[in-house]
Amino acid sequence: MYLALALTFGFLAVTLALLGLMLIVEERRIRRRIAAVAAAVGPVSPSDVDAYVDYQGRGRLAKLMQPLTESLAALLPQPAYDALRDKVARAGLLAKLDPGGVLLLRIVFAVAGVAVGVLFARGYGHDKPLLAFVGALSIACVCAMLPDYWLQARINARQARIRKMLPDALDLLVVSVEAGTGLDGAIAHVERKFSGPVAEELGRALQEMRLGKPRAEALRAMARRTGLEEVSVFVSAVCQADQFGVSIAQVLRVQAETVREQRLHKIREMAQKLTVKLMFPTVLLIFPAIFVVILGPGVIRIYESIIAR
């Protein structure tokens, strides 16, 4: 009976929420269409280039789900939408996911968490109702936060790969530019020779430049997508050299050496932190075993000679 009531109220709540969502989305969609028609006579903006590149890179499933994800994304304020889009870009998932898709994942996992919580409450609700309620609520909250944890793990792994590959990519850029290739051609050469996130970001920057976005804006967008200070410093140096007429090859060589030094300092810092991190497993796992091996025979003899008598 209680399960039927819960399912009924849940269905009504979801239905009302969807109706309200449809009304809000329809109003905002009309406003956006009016704004798009009003600005249609203007030139193509960098945001239009970003939207086109994002759409072209998505798979069939992402394109099929785009109306639903756009409807969910329309509920977000612009700062929250931009922040979530930056996180998706840093994770390298713009070709598969958009901010609305992240919201959809949160909803799906939250509903799954509620279902698991209901099953948990059914098992323990008769004897301990408070424990069942707290457990069900905790399961739902944890499931709702799983997409954010997964996204952050993707960001950390991708940034680590970019830090590892960036010095070699800059060295190849230096060699290509010193051989007489232009900067765009050198970037294209690096994009062909490399794989992974560095090649993906350089390829996207090249695609944006071919669609009409200025080189400086395309490179700054690449730095913003990676979220790494090393890439931001490299892009700033290249843009300033291009603006003031400084030798690009010399700037790239300096940046390659700087990035290698930063990576070496990072490795040394991680090595110094390793001793502190090893202290906890040593104290909790190794020392107790050593104490048992050293003191165990003595404790047994004391027990046999004194207490056992």
Span 226-260, pLDDT tens digits:
888 888 888 888 888 878 877 788 888 888 888 88
pTM of the model: 0.66
Residue-level pLDDT at 39 = 55
Give the integer Cα–Cα distance in Å for 11 and 156: 38
Q: How confident is the model at residue 41 (pLDDT cuts 50, 70, 90)?
A: very low
279-301 pLDDT, tens per residue?
877 777 787 788 788 887 877 78
pLDDT of residue 143: 82
What is the pLDDT confidence band of residue 173, given thresholds at 50, 70 and 90?
confident
pLDDT bucket at 48, cuts 50 / 70 / 90:
very low
Cα distance between residue 143 and residue 108, in whole Å: 9
Higher pLDDT: 56 or 176? It is 176
pLDDT confidence band for 7 (50 / 70 / 90): low
Tell which residue, 167, 237, 159, has the closest CA to residue 201: 159
Which amino acid makes up residue 304?
E
DSSP assigned state of 264: H
Most confident of 15-29, 117-131, 213-227, 264-278: 213-227
Provide the percentage of residues in the chain whose pLDDT is more than 90: 1
Sign of CA dihedral 298, 300, 305, 307: positive
Q: Over the range 210-234, which residues count as b (16 or more CB within 10 Å of their CB) and which as e?
A: ebebebbebbbbbbebbbbebbbeb
Cβ neighbours for 111, distance < 8 A, ≥ 6 positions apart: none
The 10s digit of each residue's pLDDT in 139-158 is 778 888 888 899 999 999 99
CA–centroid distance for 302 within its chain = 59
- Is pLDDT at 23 greater than 60 in this prediction? no
Q: How confident is the model at residue 58 (pLDDT cuts 50, 70, 90)?
A: low
Q: Give every CB contact of residue 2 below 8 A, 6+ residues apart in sequence.
A: 125
Q: What is the 3-state secondary structure (H, E, C) of 40-108?
A: CCCCCCHHHHHHHHHHHHCCHHHHHCHHHHHHHHCCCCHHHHHHHHHHHHHCCCCCCCCHHHHHHHHHH
Q: In Å, how far are 248, 291, 293, 296 from 304, measured between CA atoms?
A: 82, 19, 18, 12
Residue pLDDT, tens place only, 72-118 = 777 778 888 888 888 888 888 877 777 878 888 888 888 887 777 77
Residue 56: exposure state from Cβ atoms within 10 A (0-12, 13-18, ≥19) = exposed
How much of the chain is helix, strand and coil, in % rounded to 5? Answer: 85, 0, 15
